[in-house]
């Protein structure tokens, strides 16, 4: 159990609705759907209605500084079933990357691999008191595109299992290119916090508003959004 999961939830009942994708940049079909993840009647491009309004406001702040730039939405709503699918997929991918066979691993080795997976992925809990952040419709994974429609290089990929996922990984670098990475991450953080979001402490791309992680970071007594 992570610290933020101790925050009680009093869901406000706000609807989960489709993001107006024409206002943003997205990838279609979604990367998880390409892998076989099933979302049922919803899609990764759903969020709570007020979260969408805040995201639109964040993009307005972005375009005030950089006309023509857009927020690129990588992922929004994620049912617990999809969370479980991606956790298992990431574990299997890690095995292949390391050239390991699950049947030959000790319980300690398996636990070490799972800990690596859970550095990025929330546990796919079915407990209503401890939902994965994306399953609330209040968390979104994003990056930026420029006025030419090109994704900005942020010095690491979304969902990357490495230290580069830490938001301030490049903060103290003296390399010019790496300084650019940090400046872009700082810009992303700036526009999102200005709109009311808070960033995941260990992921430069993950922002939330109103869920348990947000409440824990902002020292709010309750979270407004629970599992959908």
Q: Which of 22, 111, 163, 203 is catalytic?
A: 203
Distance CA 41, CA 43 (A): 7
Q: How far apart are the first and last CA of the chain?
A: 20
**pLDDT digit string (tens) for 59-74?**
999 999 999 999 999 9
- Asked whether the beta carbons of 55 and 141 are under 8 A apart, the reply is no
- pLDDT tens sequence across 118-155: 988 999 999 999 999 999 999 999 999 999 999 999 99
Does residue 156 surpass a pLDDT of 90?
yes
Mean pLDDT along residues 105-121: 91
Residue 101 pLDDT greater than 90, yes or no: no
Check if 53 is active-site: no
State how far the Cα of 26 lies from the Cα of 45, in Å rounded to an integer.
Answer: 9
CA angle at 126 for the pair 30 and 17, rounded to the nearest 5° = 45
What domains, with CATH codes, occur in the chain? 15-79+128-218 (3.30.1380.10)
71-88 residue pLDDT tens: 999 999 999 999 999 999
- Model confidence pLDDT, tens digit, residues 6-46: 999 999 999 999 999 999 999 999 999 999 999 988 899 99
Read off the pTM. Answer: 0.95
- What distances in angstroms separate CA 17 from CA 24, 44, 91, 138, one per listed residue? 15, 11, 31, 11
């Amino acid at each position: 159990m992570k610290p933020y999961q101790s925050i009680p939830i009093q869901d406000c009942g706000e609807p989960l609705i489709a993001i107006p994708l024409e206002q943003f940049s997205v990838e279609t079909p979604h990367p998880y759907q390409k892998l076989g993840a099933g979302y049922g009647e919803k899609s990764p491009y759903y969020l709570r209605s007020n979260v969408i309004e805040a995201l639109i406001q964040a993009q307005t702040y972005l375009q005030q500084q950089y006309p023509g730039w857009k927020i690129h939405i990588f992922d929004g709503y994620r049912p617990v079933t999809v969370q479980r699918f991606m956790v298992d997929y990431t574990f299997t991918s890690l095995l292949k990357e390391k050239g390991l066979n699950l049947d030959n691993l000790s319980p300690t080795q398996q636990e070490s691999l799972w800990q690596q997976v859970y550095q990025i992925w929330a546990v796919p809990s079915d407990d209503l008191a401890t939902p994965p952040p994306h399953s609330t419709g209040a968390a979104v994974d994003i990056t930026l595109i420029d006025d030419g429609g090109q994704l900005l290089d942020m010095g690491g990929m979304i969902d990357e299992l490495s230290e580069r996922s830490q938001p301030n990984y490049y903060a103290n670098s003296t390399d010019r290119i790496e300084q650019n990475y940090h400046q872009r991450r700082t810009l992303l953080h700036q526009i999102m916090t200005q709109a009311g979001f808070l960033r995941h402490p260990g992921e430069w791309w993950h922002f939330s508003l109103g869920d348990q992680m947000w409440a824990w970071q902002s020292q709010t007594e309750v979270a407004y959004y629970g599992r959908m």
